[in-house]
Amino acid sequence: MKTIAIANQKGGCGKTTTAVNVSAALAAVGKRVLLIDLDPQAHASFALRKSIRSFDGFIYDVLTDNPERKRDLDSCITNSSLNLDMVPASIELSTLEQEFKEKDGAVSQLRKALSTCRSAYDYVLVDCPPSLGFLTFNALRAADRVVIPIDMSPFTLVGVGKLLGMIELVGTKLGHFPEVNALATLFDKRTTYSGEILEEVKSHFGERMLRTVVRQNVALKRAVSEGVSIMVFDRASAGAKDYEALSDEILGLEPIDSLDPNIGDIAFTVEAPAARDVYVVGDFNDWRIADECRLLNRGNAWWEKRMKLARGRHRYQFVVDGEWMTDSKNGERERNVFGTFDSIVTI
């Protein structure tokens, strides 16, 4: 189980939008995801309100020491959609810092709660409040990775140093060193100014900058108004494609030493300028056309899908708008039982 905190003390940078929609995108490719709303404003809970029938418990109930309210994490989990569960927030979260004042281990409350979770998740996403207080510190302490959404505004890097300083403090004081990545959000490709800010952010973060750029897209706002994720509201929108790309990139961020030596990485790419949908199918998925094998449009006519497959020899084909075809870039092919050819890849 990997825990990712989505954090930035600056408001309006796409933090909750990212937490909600990358959770939904990961769930859409078959990953079991738990989204924790750690913001007293409960914006993530609001963003998914239509897909959740009722809230039986809140993250406050999990973190509090009040015996009249204390509940375990599993009892406060509510389902949002296939593979996506949530623990909602309430305004009472804002009282926790005072409740735990001068108590030992206060900043590890969320980490302890996650360690007792009986449900099996691939990813836990934590939507942090727009502040650098007790709740954000708890999220950083629990996180394996911190993603910092950065919008393309003149104030974009103001205060980021304080967040990075807090992450360093978690390492110095607690011996916990989460990975850190920056994510460009609210990018407007129509303006040169957005491009200038993006280059400045890339220069600041270097290799820690994620490749995905989340564009301004009205569908993301409309999805919030409807109370559903962008994956439910409009799967064909630019917003959905951006968060699909981000989820795919996150899946590729697993540290090398955690990978099974019998599993290898591969990137399937195909040029299909006019395509609407592209899939890769093969013996590794029983030749099924499914969401988890859908390629992402990387622009300039190229589609890509990164996968982890068992080491060995695999047969595969691409399915472009319903038409099956071999990989034109791969000359290794073998005839199949239907008298046509499959491409061959060895990992």
| pLDDT, tens only, 151-193 | 988 877 777 888 888 888 888 778 888 899 999 999 888 888 8
150 and 185 in contact (C-beta within 8 Å)?
Answer: yes
**pTM to 2 decimal places:** 0.73
Question: First-to-last CA distance in the chain?
Answer: 26
Question: How far apart (Å, rounded) are the C-alpha atoms in residues 37 and 20?
Answer: 9
Give the model's pLDDT for residue 234. Answer: 93
H/E stretch holding 114 reads helix 109-115
At residue 254's C-alpha, the angle toward residues 252 and 255, to 5°, is 130
Nearest residue to 89 via CA among 121, 129, 133, 138 = 129
Residue 139, burial from CB neighbour count under 10 angstroms (0-12, 13-18, 19+): buried
Backbone angles phi, psi at 257, to 5 degrees: -75, -5
- The per-residue pLDDT for range 21-71, each reduced to its tens digit, is 999 999 999 899 999 999 999 999 999 998 776 778 999 999 998 899 999
Tokens standing for residue 194: 């957005």
DSSP 122: S
- List the pLDDT tens digit at each of the 347 positions of the chain: 899 999 998 888 999 999 999 999 999 998 999 999 999 999 999 999 987 767 789 999 999 988 999 999 999 999 888 889 999 999 999 999 888 887 878 889 999 999 888 778 899 999 999 988 899 999 999 999 999 999 988 877 777 888 888 888 888 778 888 899 999 999 888 888 888 889 988 888 888 999 999 999 999 999 999 999 999 999 999 999 999 999 999 998 865 444 456 777 788 888 888 899 999 999 999 999 988 888 887 666 778 887 888 889 999 999 999 999 999 888 899 999 999 999 999 88
CA dihedral 203, 146, 256, 28 (to 10 degrees): -110
Cα Rg, the chain, nearest whole Å = 21
CA distance 2 to 124: 6
Domains defined for the chain, CATH in brackets: 2-258 (3.40.50.300), 263-346 (2.60.40.10)
